[in-house]
Structure 1
Amino acid sequence: MTALTAGAVTDAAGLTLGHEPVPAEQVVAGTPSTGYVDLDDARGVGIGVWEMTPGAMSDVESDEVFIVLSGSATVEFTDPALPAIELRAGSIVRLEAGMHTVWTVRETLRKVYVAG
């Protein structure tokens, strides 16, 4: 784990992330892969960087707030049924545990997340 250190800077945009293919049962289109690095997990709150390459995948979410650093994507909410959202650099989103989503990434998406 790359650790966040008090008073130090972590370059979330420049971190190297190891990628793995999205499990077949989650792939909706294309051949997306994801990578992440945990930066901190103090007090039961996880902070990290996550990235997905172009393609589409389904997911079940955790309680999370994230900020998109780069890329573009659409997130559809299948349960509960909510309007789809468009993501781009600067988007801030809150997800709740148990939401069922479909992520369609057009340009590799990188985000910083806080989950707990």
Structure 2
Amino acid sequence: MPGLALELEDLPAEEVVAGAPQAAAAELGSLGGVDYGVWEMTAGTATDVEADEVFVVLSGSATVTIAEAGGHAGRVLELGPGSLVHLWAGEESVWEVHSPLRKVYFTPAG
């Protein structure tokens, strides 16, 4: 998947905190009620509201700050190749990408 070409696009201005990050995603398929794909973001800082997701970082590095929500404690995640993360729907996050981050993600189908 590192060789998979993605068409990066600017993030919406209201999500950008610093820099000029771009992002892209490619849904690759589904298996047993789970969708999977690849997502990438270039260096910069942006906000997001998460969906239910498990992902593994393939390349790059980032610091993700997640606010306390829905009974889940806030946390700060230092991401690099091999990081395995579970995000819950509705969590508010700030992604500070240090070097282009690429992950493979798994979400409930639908």
Q: Please report the TM-score for the alignment, with normalisation by the length of structure 2.
A: 0.90
Q: How does 1:3-82 map to 2 (within 5 A)?
A: 12-42=1-31, 44-80=33-69, 82=74
Structure 2's unaligned 5+ residue stretches are none
Structure 1 residue 46: deviation in Å? Answer: 1.5
Q: CA RMSD in A?
A: 1.2
Select the structure with the greater relative contact order (CA < 8 A; seq sep ≥ 6).
2
Q: Which string of whole-angstrom CA distances, capped at 9 and with x for unpartnered residues, describes residues 69-102 of structure 1?
A: 0000000012335121100000000000000000
How far does residue 36 in structure 1 lie from its aligned partner after superposition? Answer: 1.1
Q: Tell me the TM-score normalised to structure 1 length.
A: 0.86
**Following TM superposition, by how much is the alpha carbon of 1:27 offset from its aligned partner in structure 2, in angstroms?**
0.4
Q: Identity across aligned pairs (percent)?
A: 51
Detail structure 1 runs of 4+ shifted over 4 Å in the superposition: none
Supply the distance in 1 between the matched residues of 2:87 and 2:97 (Cα, whole angstroms). Answer: 17
Quote the Cα distance in structure 1 between the aligned partners of 2:21 and 2:53.
Answer: 21
